[in-house]
Amino acid sequence: MALSRHEPLPVGRARKKLAGIRPPVHSQPSASRSLGRAIQRGQIPGPGRAGLHLPPGRRYFVTILPLVAALLLTVACVNQSSAASSAGSGELTVFAAASLANSFPEIADAFEAENPGASITFNFAGSQRLRTQLEFGAQADVFASADQRQMDLAVAADLISGVPVPFAENVLVVITPLAGGATNDERVNNLDDLARNGVKLALASPVVPVGAYSHELLRKLEANVVDLGPDYASRVLKNVVTHEPNVRGVLQKVALGEVDAGIVYRTDAATDYAASRVGVVSIPDGSNVVAEYPIAVLREAAYPELAEEFVRFVLGER
């Protein structure tokens, strides 16, 4: 099943529900300075970005809507203007979930354009790994997690200034190699195939959000889809041959044909890199898992006022 990609829709608020879908994206912008910095740091494997375009002079939120089995990621960006804001200057360090690597760099470009003295460097990785790095003293200004649990642990460790705020949602999809996979005889064409003997499945580690969500998804499918059988989750988990440190690792395993299927966020399946390499198996809407992303300024932020301004920019409050 071919992957559908859709351009963002303008809306009034990040939490607002959308009813329509725009035509497919015609082109993708070139890599930004922020994305280049992240690639140089080895935090992004290098595929192109997808799903975010910020026209000047308009208030936009980034939304990738679910199409049968799709995921929803809503990220806010607002009121670009030629005038600099009063946020000040400095180089922000943003620790962000790996699944945000396709949307945050362009939001950063828009923020930098509005704040000429500001620049943003990203560290994209699994949320659990980022939170652990912060606990061990890594310096950063903003933390954007792929789940509330990792943010709650950061709050408990006294790493957060203020109250974290949800800013985006995501859902899961099953992806398979489009062609030429090393295990092509065990192609996965539907959810039932995930439990078939001999299928090789990649999941993220259960200690990172997407891995925990994947396990929750399998339990929900077992409970809600009668045809899959009462022991569906355990049969699928027996086919797991690798636990990757983050969602990007799962995507790469599938794209390279090293496994027959994997579970990732919809946004990761919608990148240019994925579009020519993986297909998507649909998940019933009522059985999918919605991931909520919180964002917060860190207590030890080097530029706390600028960090707060960036968070407001993401939330669409300016």
Full-model pTM: 0.68
Sole residue written with tokens 């809503």: 74
Asked whether the predicted pLDDT for residue 310 surpasses 60, the reply is: yes
pLDDT of residue 317: 79
pLDDT of residue 47: 34
pLDDT of residue 20: 27
Tens digit of each residue's pLDDT (9 = 90 or more) over 219-259: 999 999 879 988 999 999 999 999 999 999 999 999 999 99
> What's the rounded mean pLDDT across residues 29-43?
36
Sole residue written with tokens 């709650």: 152
Distances (CA, A) of 235 to 153, 160, 196: 32, 40, 8
69 or 152, greater pLDDT:
152
Strand ranges, E, within the chain: 60-64, 73-77, 90-97, 118-125, 142-144, 160-177, 201-204, 240-244, 261-265, 278-281, 290-298
Q: How confident is the model at residue 290 (pLDDT cuts 50, 70, 90)?
A: very high
Q: How confident is the model at residue 12 (pLDDT cuts 50, 70, 90)?
A: very low
pLDDT of residue 315: 94
> What's the rounded mean pLDDT across residues 169-194?
82
Percent of the chain with pLDDT over 70: 70
Smallest Cα–Cα separation from 297: which of 118, 169, 154? 154
255 or 69, greater pLDDT:
255
pLDDT of residue 28: 33
Contact 264, 251 (CB under 8 A): yes
Q: Which one-letter DSSP state was computed for residue 25? A: P
> What's the rounded mean pLDDT across residues 17-23?
26
Mean pLDDT of the chain: 77
Contact 117, 84 (CB under 8 A): yes
Structural domains of the chain, with CATH: 33-170+292-315 (3.40.190.10), 171-290 (3.40.190.10)
> What's the rounded mean pLDDT across residues 157-182?
90
pLDDT of residue 165: 97
> What's the rounded mean pLDDT across residues 57-75?
34
Q: How confident is the model at residue 102 (pLDDT cuts 50, 70, 90)?
A: confident
Distances (CA, A) of 178 to 48, 220, 239: 18, 26, 20
Q: How confident is the model at residue 285 (pLDDT cuts 50, 70, 90)?
A: confident
Q: Classify 93 as helix, strand or coil.
A: strand
Q: Which amino acid is at 99?
A: S
pLDDT of residue 304: 97
pLDDT of residue 299: 98
Query: Which tokens is 306 given?
Result: 């600028």
Outline where 161-207 has alpha helix (H): none
Give the sign of the dihedral formed by CA 147, CA 148, CA 153, CA 157: positive
Contact 278, 269 (CB under 8 A): yes
Query: Which tokens is 255 given?
Result: 């794209």
Phi, psi of 31 (to 5 degrees): -60, 140
pLDDT of residue 186: 66
Q: Classify 220 as helix, strand or coil.
A: helix
Q: How confident is the model at residue 180 (pLDDT cuts 50, 70, 90)?
A: low
Asked whether the predicted pLDDT for residue 108 surpasses 90, the reply is: yes
CB atoms closer than 10 angstroms to residue 35: 24
